Amino acid sequence: MCGIFGYLGYQDAAPLVLAGLERLAYRGYDSAGVAVIDRAGHLEVRKSAGKLANLTTLLEREPLSGSGLGHTRWATHGAPTDANAHPHLDGTGEVVVVHNGIVENYIELKARLTAEGHEFSSATDTEVIPHLIQELLAQGHTLAEAVRLAAAELRGAHAIACMHAGSPDTLVALRIGNAGGVSVGFGSGEMFVASDLPALLPLTTSVAPLAPGEMAVVTPEGCEMLTLDGRRIDTARQTVTMNPVAAAKGGHRHFMLKEIMEQPESAMSCLRGRLAFTPPSAVLGELPFTSEELRSLSRVVFLGMGTTQYATRVGARMTELLARLPASAEDASEYRYREPVVDEATLAVGVSQSGETADTLEAMHLAADGGARTLAITNVAGSQADRGADATLLMHAGPEIGVASTKTFVNSMLVMYLLATHLGHARGALTDDAAAGHVDAAARLPALLGEALELNRGVYERLAAAYVKARRFLFLGRGLLDPIAREGALKLKEISYIHAEGMAAAEMKHGPIALIDRETPVVALVLRDALYEKMLGNISEVKARGGVVIAIATAGDDSIAAQVDDVLWVPPCPPMLAPMLAAVPVQLFAYHTAVHLGNDVDQPRNLAKSVTVE
């Protein structure tokens, strides 16, 4: 995950920016850079691929003096080279930008700017931003106004910091959606900007985190806050404690909530370097298999447990749909004891956020012994799953502290979506155009997750209070949402201790329907997809028996509210993203119910983060 650090004040920025970037290094990066503007208005940039030590050496050799900003980059568009490292400049060399996010429409913006005579020196999407700002400055806008107007042209979620050689005492920072945070830190005669709080805390405990849609115009004396539509707002300045645990929670009450809220950013980390747009493809360079080997596969077996097993059910359906390969999602603990049929044409994919789940590891060994090629999908590099498999795809979700899996759930589905796209394209099941459609869809996920997190504000707390006395819950879904119904039930029971069952909606008629009564609310996942009408039928069956229904529905579906008791909305989205977006309301519903009950949300009773015994 990229990091941003900026400094304005009486000290030289470069050493402070370097130290700030060091504190952000835990997020992972492959290149780094610093830009500094001196009193005379000279703007200079130093950047270097590789570790921060390379940048430090460069700055020792070619020191800089003045105010400035810096960035640690994790490559998305363009290889991790010096040229692609941030900061990026416009053509005049006077506007400098660092950026976290993916400019989803950068190809069209770059084409327009190129046609207007702009020249680019990197392969990044970010470079269009300083060029857009320069164009607006040339039209007479102030720096703050130019940054704001340029931001309005960008699709996707972004965190941006920008300076201009002509005003070394001003830094403009903004946040669109959830591509990572931006916080302003207040000093005395000096000010800081950073992408997260741990980078600021050694310097100041007085901070103002930007909400999505806000921007800050920072000078050494303070900062002015605005919305991205240009309205001035109060600076939400707050004092944070130096307590490292509280700091690590980033202002959230629980790790689980923090991890739910950072899903846009963790999805972005997962996508970094894995999407190519020209020509479009899912780039999974970690896979050692040749196209011929991928074409020779006869099936894919996904192995996992618990929440992760529900993610694999989504992965198996995607693999069947996109790669036209028979695929199954197996409970690893059952698979390992049932003498399964395995051969050299099987790809066994062990999915485990911890990489240490005993049953999943054993099932992978069993498949390898049977001749299968093995692939691990895990969040922990160096875990047993990673070490034991032929290849690994990391989830890149960042550390997950809460016992309940949330962001690793979404990221495991996302990795399997990329895998299915890659397999489908390599095997000829997806045309170039179809693969391009999936690459575009995947690139939209971070921004859509941000929207999903913004919807239903205040509703979760109301529903938690209204339904907390329920005897049990049923969760129903179809297609790609059947596994999300199961996950919704698991999330609710593991942290609220209320019994819940999740199932394919049609299954309800075959027994569970006997449970329907006023004390058994039904959560129905009824997004506008191909099975929408079928789900409406299932909802009618519940209502006809006097049941209570909470729908998880597509925002804008005005007709659903009249048919159910309560609704939680999900933004409209491409079909393959539906399970990842529908995960958000089921997570937040479970979270708020558990909080309402006063439970230990991060460490629910009897549970462990990694289950290393069978």
- Is residue 609 part of the annotated active site? The answer reads yes
Smallest distance from ligand M6R to CB 610, Å: 5
Q: Which residues lie across from 17 on neighbouring strands?
A: none
Binding mask 405-444 for ligand M6R (x = CB under 6 A): x---------------------------------------
Closest CB to ligand M6R: residue number: 306
Q: Is residue 362 a contact point for ligand M6R (CB under 6 A)?
A: no
Per the omega criterion (within 30 degrees of 0), is the bond before 604 cis? no
3-state SS, one letter per residue, for 416-433: HHHHHHHHHHHCCCCCHH
Catalytic residue, candidates 51, 534, 543, 609: 609
Smallest distance from ligand M6R to CB 609, Å: 7
Burial status of residue 468 (CB atoms within 10 A of its CB: 0-12, 13-18, 19 or more): middle
Q: Is residue 357 a contact point for ligand M6R (CB under 6 A)?
A: yes
Nearer to ligand M6R, 67 or 405 (CB): 405
Q: Is residue 146 a contact point for ligand M6R (CB under 6 A)?
A: no
Per-residue burial over 485-509, b if 16 or more Cβ lie within 10 Å, else e, is bbbbbbbbbbbbebebbbbbbbbbe
Q: Is residue 183 a contact point for ligand M6R (CB under 6 A)?
A: no
Q: From the CB of residue 110, how many other CB atoms can be counted at a distance below 10 Å?
A: 18
Q: Is residue 319 a contact point for ligand M6R (CB under 6 A)?
A: no
Give, to the nearest 10 degrees, the angle between helix 482-496 and helix 306-323: 170
Nearer to ligand M6R, 107 or 611 (CB): 611
Binding segment for ligand M6R (CB under 6 A), chosen from 391-399, 402-410, 437-445, 472-480, is 402-410
Smallest distance from ligand M6R to CB 310, Å: 8
Q: Is residue 404 a contact point for ligand M6R (CB under 6 A)?
A: yes
Nearer to ligand M6R, 32 or 380 (CB): 380
Catalytic residue, candidates 2, 162, 223, 270: 2
Q: Which residues contact 460 (CB under 8 A, 6 or more apart)?
A: 568, 585, 588, 589, 591, 592
Place of tokens 């491409």: 574
One of 48, 84, 281, 360 touching ligand M6R (CB under 6 A): 360
Smallest distance from ligand M6R to CB 63, Å: 47
- Is residue 258 part of the annotated active site? The answer reads no
Nearer to ligand M6R, 194 or 394 (CB): 394
CA angle 197, 199, 202 (to 5 degrees): 100
Smallest distance from ligand M6R to CB 449, Å: 18
Nearest to 159 by CA among 133, 200, 129, 203: 129
Helix (H) or strand (E) holding 464: helix 459-467
Smallest distance from ligand M6R to CB 376, Å: 10
Nearer to ligand M6R, 281 or 333 (CB): 333
Helix (H) or strand (E) holding 441: helix 432-454
Per-residue burial over 405-432, b if 16 or more Cβ lie within 10 Å, else e, is bbbbbbbbbbbbbbbbbbbbbbbebbee
CA angle 302, 323, 379 (to 5 degrees): 40
Q: Is residue 588 a contact point for ligand M6R (CB under 6 A)?
A: no
Phi-psi region of 396 (alpha: psi -120 to 50; beta: other; left: phi over 0): left
Smallest distance from ligand M6R to CB 299, Å: 22
Smallest distance from ligand M6R to CB 286, Å: 19
Q: Is residue 450 a contact point for ligand M6R (CB under 6 A)?
A: no
Rounded Cα distance, 339 and 515, in Å: 36
Phi-psi region of 428 (alpha: psi -120 to 50; beta: other; left: phi over 0): left
Q: Is residue 307 a contact point for ligand M6R (CB under 6 A)?
A: yes
Binding segment for ligand M6R (CB under 6 A), chosen from 214-222, 353-361, 512-520, 574-582, is 353-361
Q: Greatest CA separation found in the chain?
A: 79
Q: Is residue 611 a contact point for ligand M6R (CB under 6 A)?
A: yes
Q: What is the SS3 assignment for 154?
A: coil
Nearer to ligand M6R, 358 or 430 (CB): 358
Binding segment for ligand M6R (CB under 6 A), chosen from 288-296, 351-359, 413-421, 568-576, is 351-359
Q: Is residue 587 a contact point for ligand M6R (CB under 6 A)?
A: no
Q: Is residue 305 a contact point for ligand M6R (CB under 6 A)?
A: yes
Q: Is residue 266 a contact point for ligand M6R (CB under 6 A)?
A: no
One of 100, 308, 554, 603 touching ligand M6R (CB under 6 A): 308
Q: What is the SS3 assignment for 280?
A: strand
Smallest distance from ligand M6R to CB 491, Å: 7
Rounded Cα distance, 257 and 11, in Å: 37
Site for ligand M6R in 477-496 (CB under 6 A): 494
Q: Is residue 306 a contact point for ligand M6R (CB under 6 A)?
A: yes
Structure-token pair, residue 552? 């998880």
Nearer to ligand M6R, 543 or 609 (CB): 609
> Using a CB cutoff of 8 Å and minimum separation of 24, what contacts does 232-240 make?
235/184, 235/208, 236/208, 236/209, 236/211, 237/186, 237/206, 237/207, 237/208, 238/206, 238/207, 238/208, 238/209, 239/205, 239/206, 239/207, 240/197, 240/201, 240/205, 240/207
Q: 262 near 407, Cβ under 8 Å?
A: yes
Binding mask 591-610 for ligand M6R (x = CB under 6 A): -------------------x
Interacting residue ranges for ligand M6R, rule: CB under 6 A: 305-308, 352-354, 357, 360, 403-405, 494, 610-611
Residues that are catalytic: 2, 609
